[in-house]
Structures are given as C-alpha cells and as structure tokens.
Amino acid sequence: MIKLNRRITLRGWGSLQNEIGSPVAVEVAAWEQWAQVEDRSGAPVNQYQQELWQYDYKITVRHERTRRIGSNYTIDYDGKRLAINSISLKSEAYRQYDVLRCTAIDDSTGTGGGGSVTPLPQIGVYNYTGVGGEYEFTAGVLAGRYVFSAEKDGVGFVILRETGTLSDDFKGVINTKATGKMQWSTPFSPDERATILYL
C-alpha cells in the first residue's frame, strides 16, 4: 500500500540568457507534493581521488495530468537536491502514480534529522557551439557532474548514462560522467548550440 506521508518539492529547470548574453539556469516550475520515499541506501564512491557519498531513493507521487514531471526536474527532500534518473507509471486501486528513481550525490552523510542540513547544490549551465560535422565534445566542467538535461537549439535529447546505441532517428546523447564527454546521435551544424544542465 502506498503511503504519501513525506513532503517534497519538485523543481523544473531551463536556461535563459542574462543581460550580457551568458546562459543562466532558471527555475521554470515548482510545487510541493506529498510522496512516499523509500529504499534509501548510501555507498561511498571515489571520483578524482575524492570520496563522495551516493544516495539512492525511490519516490512515489500521485500522477497529475496537468503537472507532468520531466527529466529536467529535480526534487528537494531532507535538505538534499535529488536528480531524477527515471520515471515510470504505476497503477494501484484505480489510481495512478509516478515512480521516480533518484540520486543525490554529496560529500557528507548529514541530513536534516538532527545533523547538519546539506546545502542544496546549484544548477549549472554549459553551452557548446558547433563548428559543423562533429558528433561529440568533452567539457571539463561536466566531469564528475550529473547531467540531467541536454538540448540542441531548444530540442531535447534523451540522456543515456555511459553506454547505449545512437542512431539518426533517435534523439539521444551518451554522457560519460567521469570525463564530461557528450556523444550525440546527430552531428552538429555550424553555429548549432547545445545547452547542458547539470548538478
């Protein structure tokens, strides 16, 4: 039985240009919702000689047709910002729920339950302008970061983690987290702009 007894905040993100033309992350949607939060686990991972703690969550919320949760959304819960890895639909007793698999990566195990509250990480924006014909690029600023939104000239691409098969009829991009490499299913046109949002 699903028990929606935890309060979470969902936030949708996009990017805009500021007054000097630089890209900045902007919150385009936000609301609070009751949720069931479960399957929390923690494990240390090492990246670039730094030990980080990775937490995994399964979050279930009531499905709302008027407010759809996308891959460019994050969840604020228990003093942490969670990135959504996958979204699936579940039905139970004539009700529909969205099941969200989420990850939070932080350098401490502190939560809001009596310890220090972990600061919510800022959303980063990275732009790449194509020279024409290339399918990939590597950006040092994306190394070790969690990429949760990738688009070319406003068209969203499905993000594949580390491996996958790309083809011309599938708008996808393979993100290699360790190096910041982005491999796209379609080549860049001259001056075509990719916008990447990351944590």
**Nearest partner of 194 among 140, 139, 145, 143, judged by Cα:** 139
Does residue 51 register a pLDDT over 70? Answer: no
**Radius of gyration for the chain, computed over Cα atoms and rounded to the nearest angstrom:** 18
**Nearest partner of 61 among 131, 10, 135, judged by Cα:** 10
Amino acid identity for residue 112 in this structure: G
Percentage above 70 pLDDT, the chain: 79
Does residue 47 register a pLDDT over 70? Answer: no
Give the model's confidence band at 24: pLDDT under 50 very low, under 70 low, under 90 confident, else very high: confident
Does residue 68 register a pLDDT over 50? Answer: yes
Classify each residue of 162-174 as buried b or exposed e, where b means 16 or more C-beta atoms within 10 Å of its C-beta: eeeebeeeebbbb
Does residue 20 register a pLDDT over 80? Answer: no
Give the model's confidence band at 25: pLDDT under 50 very low, under 70 low, under 90 confident, else very high: confident
Indicate the pairing of strand 136-138 with strand 147-152.
Answer: unpaired
Percentage above 90 pLDDT, the chain: 30
Cβ atoms of 107 and 50 within 8 Å: the answer is yes
Cβ atoms of 77 and 123 within 8 Å: the answer is no
DSSP 109: -
Does residue 111 register a pLDDT over 50? Answer: no
Question: What's residue 43's pLDDT?
Answer: 54
Find the length of the chain.
199
The better pLDDT of the pair 107, 1 is held by 1
Q: Which of 2-6, 147-151, 167-171, 190-194 has the lowest mean pLDDT?
A: 167-171
Indicate the pairing of strand 193-198 with strand 6-17.
Answer: unpaired
Q: Which residues pair with 52 in a beta bridge?
A: 45
